[in-house]
Amino acid sequence: MPIQQVIVPDIGGAEGAEVIELLVAVGDQVVLDQGLIVLESDKASMEIPATAAGTVVELLVAEGDQLAEGAAVAMIDVAEQVADAAPTPGEDEATAASDAPSVGDVGAEQKASAVKEAPVAKETPVAEAVSAVNEAPVLPVEAAPLALEVAGEIYAGPAVRKLARELGVQLVRVDGTGPQGRVLKEDLQQFVRKVIREPVGAVTGGTGIPSVPETDFAKFGEVEVTPRTKLDKLTAINMHRSWVNVPHVTQFDEADITDLEEFRAGLKAEAEQRSTRITPLPFLLKACALALRDNPKINSSLARGGEDLVHKKYIHIGVAVDTPAGLMVPVIRDVDRKTIWELAHEVAELASRARDRKLLPAEMQGGCFTVSSLGNIGGNGFTPIVNTPEVAILGVSKAAIKPLWNGAEFAPRTMLPVALSYDHRVVNGGDGGRFLTRIVSLLSDIRQLSL
């Protein structure tokens, strides 16, 4: 009976990608390329597909396991080929639920005990010190890589949880050294020893910003609590890190894209022949690439704590994509060397793979600059947060027809609001103004894109 082993393929060098969902069970029939499990790394969420059609005879992983390239996932009996098999029962529900990470075997009672504020014995020095640490804001990821877990995902036994409640320690701040990061009693004791050796006044977090107190929203009405996806939490961490470390400045302008829209409408038939869609985004990317070429300071990054400035000789641009699992930013490489058609095809492909959670971590790395477009969602402006270590990001809002004075009369023109946020440690107002003006000029006269 031919049995085929499914392994984790090349996932772009990601180490320790976590199994957050099992999409099939033993005995399920699967078709070629049907998703078996969902892996989530620090950069992306992706499904691992079946490499053959057949019956799942063994699952070799469990939720919470950390996998790398080459790890065994499942065994499939391919003796009986399954052609055009329907999705397994419950698959739609599993897919819909995949936005939220599994909490393994942590029960509702344990989760509730983990998130409930523990009583603190104010009369003891240990409790006072621990309370000060509990009230401190969570550090950025570089400073506290193991403390950034939500309560529902803490692995700890009942005895450890009881001891933590007695000591007034939030387990979210304790580094677990047991299997799969499980918090042991020794970890708790080590944490308390460390806390009482440090001056209470010194525990202020990375920025000294006071934390926001927890609120019991259920006191005011009915609520529903759902865990955030790992990708959501990592995005929040990265955005917070950028905001507190980067002095942001945002400049605004509008581009007259009337001629661009007329030209784009004329390409509709050719786009259908090429089996693609021609949106404004490829033109935006091309304009940004040429502006980066003409303004190399925007295509740089700080290094060695700000001592050096790295000037990049390549132009890779990230595109923010809104997905059910959270925000993803696939990177399009060598934008300056690609045609509008090539960019249109690559944008559509990467966006689709991002929404299907099939992006590899390597496809989200190496960006020089980011474009965040709200497209038809709406709004006439926003201030995007720089995606460090990049030094600038372009925010694009919804185009609108406005009257524009042409020297003789007001004429209707299609105007596109754009906003450039940048790191003021690297980019000054003149740099930002020249860069944004160049983008506006290129979008207003797309003939320049071919020069």
pLDDT tens per residue, range 236-257: 888 988 999 999 999 999 999 9
Single-letter code of the amino acid located at 44: A
> How would you classify the pairing of strands 300-303 and 45-49?
unpaired
Spell out the residues 6+ positions from residue 201 whose beta carbon is closer than 8 angstroms to its own: 132
Return d(Cα 449, Cα 255) in angstroms, integer.
15
| Fold of the 108-219 domain | Dihydrolipoamide Transferase (4.10.320)
pLDDT at 441: 96
CA–CA separation, 67 and 48 (whole Å)? 11
**Tokens representing residue 279 in the block:** 């949106």
User: Would you please indicate which residues are annotated as catalytic (active-site) residues?
Assistant: 424
Q: Report the topology of domain 248-450.
A: Chloramphenicol Acetyltransferase (3.30.559)
Indicate if the pLDDT at residue 128 is higher than 70.
no
Q: Dump pLDDT digits (tens) for 196-228.
A: 765 544 444 445 677 888 899 999 999 999 888
- List the chain domain ranges: 3-90, 108-219, 248-450
Which CATH architecture is the domain 3-90 placed in? Beta Barrel (2.40)
For 329-352, write each residue's pLDDT tens digit.
999 999 999 999 999 999 999 999
The owner of tokens 């990061």 is 181
Residue-wise burial string across 162-186, b where 16 or more C-beta atoms lie within 10 A, e elsewhere: ebbbebbbbbbbbebeeeebebbee
Average pLDDT score over the chain: 80
The alpha carbon of 119 is separated from its chain's Cα centroid by a whole number of angstroms, namely 35
pLDDT in tens, 397-420: 999 999 999 999 999 999 999 999
Statement: residue 431 has pLDDT above 90: yes
For the beta sheet containing 35-40, the strands, ordered from the edge strand earlier in sequence to the opposite edge, are 45-49, 35-40, 17-22, 66-67
Do domains 3-90 and 108-219 share one topology? The answer is no
Q: What global pTM score does this model have?
A: 0.62
pLDDT band per the 50, 70, 90 thresholds, residue 435: very high
